[in-house]
Structure 1
Amino acid sequence: MPNLPSRAARRGPALHPEPSARAESAVVDCAVYVDGHRLPGSFTHAEAVEEVRRRGDGFVWLGLHHPDEQQMTEVAHTFALHELMVEDAVHAHQRPKLERYDEVLFLVLRTVAYIEHESVATTNDIVETGEIMLFTGPGFVVSVRHGDHSELSQVRKRLEADPARLRRGPAAVLHAIADHVVDSYLEVTTAVQPDVDDLEELVFAPDSRIAVEQIYMLKREIVQLRRAVVPLAEPLQQLIRAPGVLVPKDVRRYFRDVADHHTTVADRIAAFDETLGTLLDTAIAKVTVQQNTDMRRISAWVAIAAVPTMIAGIYGMNFDRMPELDWEYGYYVVLAVIVAITAALFVTFRRNKWL
């Protein structure tokens, strides 16, 4: 018989009313599963717990979306969840982690979604993150989702179509959601790969001009992706090694496959980060080379312009006695000298690729 929290434990020190309409407004779905099949009808979370206690078999799966403190407190009262769990579930923004409170496992998963865009050069965001928090105990699973992506309805449908998996109890739901989240990591990294490739092609294209801010933007998104994904490695290993009845041995085997997929994702993210680091160094080097080229070009034109400026300055000093002032061909000779010198400088600079 599932060791669900007793009626007295759920009541706590003070009497609580039946689940309010406010609490139920955060409920996406609530179902009772017995022998791998969903019982017909609809239940509030309190009614679902009572049904499982009455039958002495099965488990409850309650799905919540972005509950506030009051809603989560009512749910926690029904399932006898620790107050620290409630605080984490309400405020979100947690790192992936696995904690155990008596007979309840608390798993935090960060979800990621790819934001479609036309070009990496014209967008500011490519990855959106959210959270899924799972409370798993004897006879129940409570999933709390923050964010508008990574819905769990498809996960529930796939499990309901496979009664053999659901017969394994709450641990099967825990595995299915973790597997779903890690598979979404694979999809996102697959979608990000062309963005990295496009940026790499743009950086190494001849005579291309790329804003370093574009690389910084993509690197920032990869850092955000890494923070969501990489810390999950330790919780998955803990689930693989978890002793006791909370995660049966036959379910722990499946978590090894999830951990393998997670390792693949982590390796991809590390490769992205390394590639973007190289691209950033390359882009900065290209900017430096371009600046040096521009400075040489500017210096060459300044040198060419200095010749007529200097000669005109000398003969513009307005002294009464200066050579060639009274010479009939002096003006033309000076112009010829200016043209000759500037032409020679232009040819020299052009030959040395300064112009």
Structure 2
Amino acid sequence: MTLIDNAVYVDGRRLATPASLDETYATLTECGGFAWIGMYRPEETEVRSIASEFQLHHLSVEDALKGHQRSKLERFDDILFVVLRPARYIDAEERVEFGELHVFVGPDFVVTIRHAESPDLAKVRARMESTPRLLALGPEAVLYAIFDQLVDEYAPVIAGLENDIDEIEDEIFDGDPEVARRIYDLSREVIEFQRATQPLIGMLEALKRGFAKYNVEAELHHHLDDVLDHVLRINERGATFRQILDNALIVHSTLVTQRQNDETRRLSETSLAQSEEVKKISSWAAILFAPTLVGTVYGMNFENMPELHWEYGYPFALGLMVAGGFVLWRVFKKNNWL
């Protein structure tokens, strides 16, 4: 059922709860007051019916049917068309879900077309019905209450984003390899949140000017000032979050680079140490090779070797081994190989 709640109000009190749109139109014509029609993802025929009855501008009707609109406020003669981007923080998934709400406000009607679970318009209706004096101010009062509920529901989103940012700051210094992806995803959510909230400033200011032009009750001016103040603070927090995430990404990149440099330095030191060991091993191998070479030559026992029957051949061979080894040791020592 797309018709969630449907009522006709006179002097701030619910006069009737029609079961259908046609009954709403008849009651409104008969009793006066204003109708507040709440719908959830309605069929095109229902939207066309409302558009025909209340003479809604065809451009606003097309926007409502197509959806996926940016936050905006448009006036068509004495009818306001408002697109709002509600948001809610889903704690189990640690993400922000964005919705879309279309509001038509005329002299004797308010039509809300909701495309997501938020904002909770049942709370808005209950609040307004519990304060007949405020509801008696007419459709503009309902529009104010919708803005107020929307902004109130941004508070848990702010808290959720802030908690996620705190976790990211810890993960950065813990060296979590997935932190870069999480920073990117969270930055995207913050940007989307800013796209939803930043237009509200201009919308509320334009609404205040319209209230002054069309002689709307001064009390609603004060209420809008309060909502605008909350919106300004929310936008400041959003800008702060974005700056923190930009800085976090820079810090993460710096730490990754530093870790890579440390790893490269460690590998270089290890390679250098290995190189020194190779030098030492090669040096001692060369030193030991000298006497081995001499011994090998004189150990061949050929018949016609000139030193074979020499009286000093053996001491000479030993001396040659020692001298060769000593010369090589000196050379390697001088070149810091040993």
Structure 2 CA distance, aligned partners of 1:187 and 1:308?
62
Output the amino acid matched with 2:236: D
Tell me how far apart the structure 2 counterparts of residues 253 and 71 of structure 1 sit (CA, whole Å).
35
- 1:210 deviation in Å? 6.0
Structure 1 pair 254/219, CA: closer, same or farther in 2 (3 Å)?
A: same
Q: Secondary structure at the match of 1:127?
A: strand
Asked which structure has the greater RCO (Cα within 8 Å, sep 6+), the reply is 1
Does the CA contact (< 8 Å) of 2:13 and 2:132 recur in 1? yes
Q: CA RMSD in A?
A: 3.0
**CA distance in 2 between partners of 1:32 and 1:247 (Å):** 20
Which among 87, 100, 108 is matched to residue 83 of structure 2? 108
Residue 244 (structure 2) pairs with residue 269 (structure 1):
no
1:323 matches 2:290: yes
Q: CA deviation at 1:180?
A: 0.3
**Maintained 8 Å contact 1:171/1:246:** no
Structure 1 contact 155–177 (Cα < 8 Å) conserved: yes
Secondary structure class of the residue paired with 2:85: strand
Report SS of the residue matched to 2:80: strand
Matches within 5 A, 1:165-180: 165-180=134-149
C-alpha displacement at 1:209, in angstroms?
Answer: 5.9
Q: Is 1:227 aligned to 2:189, yes or no?
A: no
Q: CA deviation at 1:36?
A: 0.8
What are the Cα deviations for residues 208-228 of structure 1, in whole angstroms up to 9, with x where unaligned? 666311211211111111111
Cα pair distance change 1:133/1:248, threshold 3 Å: farther
Between structure 1 and structure 2, the one with the greater Rg is 2
Is 2:168–2:179's contact at 8 Å kept on the other side of the alignment? Answer: no
Q: TM-score, normalised by structure 2?
A: 0.80
- List per-residue Cα deviations over 1:106-133 (Å, max 9, x = no partner): 111110000103xxxxx6x511000111
Shift of 1:312: 6.2
Using the alignment, how far apart are the partners of 1:127 and 1:112 within structure 2?
A: 7
Separation in structure 1 between the aligned mates of residue 234 and residue 28 of structure 2, nearest angstrom: 38
Quote the offset at 1:183 in angstroms: 1.0
1:48 Cα deviation from its structure 2 partner: 1.5
Counterparts of residues 1-355 of structure 1 (less than 5 Å): 25-55=1-31, 57-117=32-92, 126-204=95-173, 211-242=179-210, 243-245=212-214, 247-309=216-278, 323-326=290-293
Write the deviation string for residues 177-232 of structure 1: whole angstroms up to 9, x where unpaired. Answer: 00000111123112321221222233245x66663112112111111111111111
Please say if residues 137 and 246 of structure 1, whose CA atoms lie closer than 8 Å, have aligned partners that are also in contact: no
Q: Give the whole-Å Cα distance in 2 for the aligned partners of 1:139 and 1:59.
A: 4
TM-score w.r.t. the length of structure 1 is 0.77
What is the CA distance between 1:150 and its match in structure 2?
A: 1.9
Distance between the aligned counterparts of 1:195 and 1:141, measured in 2? 37
> Which residue in the other structure is 2:306 paired with?
none
CA distance in 1, matches of 2:179, 2:204: 39
CA distance in 1, matches of 2:25, 2:196: 33
Q: Would you say the 8 A contact 1:219–1:273 is kept in 2?
A: yes
Q: Which one has a larger percent helix, Structure 1 or Structure 2? A: 2
SS state at 1:93 partner = coil
1-structure distance, mates of 2:46, 2:70: 23
Give the aligned residue type for 2:199: P
Residue 75 of structure 1: how far off its partner (Å) = 2.0
- Separation in structure 2 between the aligned mates of residue 316 and residue 63 of structure 1, nearest angstrom: 93
Unaligned segments of structure 2, at least 5 residues: 296-320
Give the secondary structure class of the aligned counterpart of 1:113: strand
* Identity value in percent: 35
Aligned-partner SS, 1:215: helix
- Deviation of 1:166 after TM superposition, in Å, equals 0.9
> What displacement does 1:98 show?
0.8
Any unmatched runs of 5+ in structure 1?
1-24, 118-122, 345-355
